[in-house]
């Protein structure tokens, strides 16, 4: 395992064509709906990474029939109509936030008793709001270490579909999604387990988000409608997932690193099979790049981004609340802009794999760039980074984003590049091939 990665500086504008893995978010949503479906579902374009392998291992541990064809990027799942085959099991979600939230919700509405284990990193991530909701619905949550965090033992509230005839009144829950929309996605996705349907009242000022829209669209494609009136979400009674084949989109988050490389070098990057009708929220990063002086064109092969001459980017102020995975990407290319770059609306990224706002500030400062850290924002000033080590905090997005600095700066070393196994395990292999660098160096 490579402990450090020295990024090779680019002396010419890039001219890259790249294929990226499938979307992690869409992969795990599709797998969850597949196991809750009333038949066999073939999921194609699956992302195989540390996160998705943990998700699949959890499904197998719960007794679901899962056929994995990794070379073909396919998984075939036999659904059990909303029931979990094994009434008792121990699962390990690793560092996978989606697996932790989605599976905890599913187990909370089951008729069994389960233990959820995880990595040290996942133990630090917030789960209390979801556990409070599940407890209020009748599940029993026993914290095995710190209250409000994994690991836990969950005894389901026995609302499995086959146990009860659907009534007229939907199950009602209330939720604040200020810190994370993942809890709402989790509850919506498992709502067909509740025979009388589910109504979720949003108590926060924020009521929607890009990942919620992905969830609703995918549920619709699996045959379950979600009504939304601007404040309340409702899944009707007797809902059931049915789908024979589902194809996962390429991961827009992964594509954005290559688009940013084009931006910062004044070159061109085409990511195959990514198009402007992509449903993922990170598509909006293309708008940010366009405001900074890039062009983005949807070609038959994929979206092509062309950076401004010499990578002379314009400064920008942008609220990235709805596509915050790209805050790190923007921060990494911000020093090369002609004016400050201010990123707002990102307070919630402090609670992700690491405190990402602080990771932006500490790494840029270490590389000689002025960066002002605020509770929900960061401002990066133009400058010339110098060489140095990037502390990744075991966060895949820190590692991939800050590799972009090295395309314009000698001596950028990424610590622990293997953390990318979470979503894009061969990212640095791909980067080496594109830059003509040996993988070992």
- Position 159 scores a pLDDT of 56
Question: What's the rounded Cα separation, in Å, for the pair 226 and 138?
Answer: 23
What pLDDT score does 160 carry?
A: 46
Percent of the chain with pLDDT over 70: 97
pTM: predicted TM-score of the whole model, two decimal places: 0.86
pLDDT confidence of 228, banded at 50, 70, 90? very high
Confidence (pLDDT) at 161: 46
Q: Which residues pair with 92 in a beta bridge?
A: 117
Sign for the CA dihedral angle at 384, 387, 388, 394 comes to positive
Q: What average pLDDT does the structure give for the chain?
A: 94
pLDDT at 169: 78
Instruction: Report pLDDT for 179.
Output: 82
> What pLDDT, on a 0 to 100 scale, did the predictor assign at position 126?
86
Q: Compute the residue count for the chain.
A: 441
Give the span between the Cα atoms of 130 and 135, in whole angstroms: 9
At 186, is the secondary structure helix, strand, or coil? helix
Q: Annotated catalytic residue: which of 51, 251, 325, 394?
A: 325
Rounded distance between C-alpha atoms, residue 441 and residue 433, angstroms: 12
Joined tokens for residue 145: 């270490």
Tokens 């395990």 belong to 425
Q: Give the dihedral sign, CA 10/13/14/15.
A: negative
296-311 residue pLDDT tens: 999 999 999 999 988 8
Distances (CA, A) of 129 to 134, 167, 235: 9, 27, 21
pLDDT per residue as tens digits for the range 183-219: 999 999 999 999 999 999 999 999 999 899 999 999 9
61-94 per-position pLDDT tens digit: 999 999 999 999 999 999 999 999 999 999 999 9
Active-site residue flag, 325: yes
Could you read off the pLDDT of 141-175 as tens digits, one per residue?
999 999 999 999 999 997 544 444 555 678 999 99
Burial of 190 (0-12, 13-18, 19+ CB in 10 A): buried
């Amino acid at each position: 395992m490579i402990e450090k990665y020295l990024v090779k500086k680019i002396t010419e504008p890039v001219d890259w064509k790249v294929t990226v893995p499938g979307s992690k978010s869409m992969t795990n949503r599709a797998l969850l709906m597949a196991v809750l479906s009333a038949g066999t579902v073939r999921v194609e374009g699956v992302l195989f990474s540390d996160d998705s392998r943990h998700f699949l291992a959890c499904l197998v541990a719960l007794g679901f029939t899962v056929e994995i064809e990794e070379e073909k990027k396919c998984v075939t799942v036999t659904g059990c109509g909303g029931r979990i085959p094994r009434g008792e099991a121990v699962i390990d979600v690793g560092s996978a936030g989606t697996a932790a939230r989605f599976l905890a919700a599913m187990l909370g509405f089951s008729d069994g008793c389960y233990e959820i284990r995880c990595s040290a990193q996942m133990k630090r991530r917030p789960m209390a709001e979801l556990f409070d909701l599940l407890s209020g619905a009748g599940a029993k949550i026993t914290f095995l270490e710190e209250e409000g965090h994994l690991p836990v033992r969950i005894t389901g509230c026995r609302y499995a579909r086959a146990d009860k005839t659907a009534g007229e009144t939907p199950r009602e829950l209330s939720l604040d999604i200020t810190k994370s929309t993942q809890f709402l996605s989790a509850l919506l996705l498992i709502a067909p387990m509740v025979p009388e349907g589910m109504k979720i009242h949003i108590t926060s000022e924020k009521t929607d988000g890009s990942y919620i829209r992905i969830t609703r669209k995918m549920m619709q494609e699996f045959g379950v409608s979600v009504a939304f009136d601007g404040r309340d979400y409702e899944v009707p009674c007797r809902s059931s997932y049915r789908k024979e084949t589902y194809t996962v989109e390429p991961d827009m988050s992964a594509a954005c690193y290559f688009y940013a490389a084009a931006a910062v070098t004044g070159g061109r990057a085409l990511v195959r099979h990514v198009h402007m009708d992509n449903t993922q929220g990170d598509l909006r990063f293309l708008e940010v790049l366009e405001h900074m002086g890039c062009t983005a064109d949807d070609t038959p092969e994929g979206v092509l981004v062309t950076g401004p001459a010499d990578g002379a980017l314009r400064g920008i102020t942008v609220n990235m609340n709805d596509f915050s995975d790209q805050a790190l990407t923007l921060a990494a290319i911000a020093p090369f802009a002609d004016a400050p770059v201010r990123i707002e609306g990102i307070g919630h990224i402090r609670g992700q794999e690491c405190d990402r706002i602080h990771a932006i500030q500490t790494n840029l400062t270490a590389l000689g760039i002025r960066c002002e850290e605020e509770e929900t924002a960061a401002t990066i000033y133009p400058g010339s980074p110098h060489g140095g080590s990037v502390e990744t905090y075991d966060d895949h997005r820190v590692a991939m984003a800050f590799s972009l600095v090295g395309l314009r700066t000698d001596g950028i070393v990424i610590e622990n590049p293997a953390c990318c196994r979470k979503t894009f395990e061969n990212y640095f292999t791909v980067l080496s091939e594109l830059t003509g660098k040996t993988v070992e160096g």
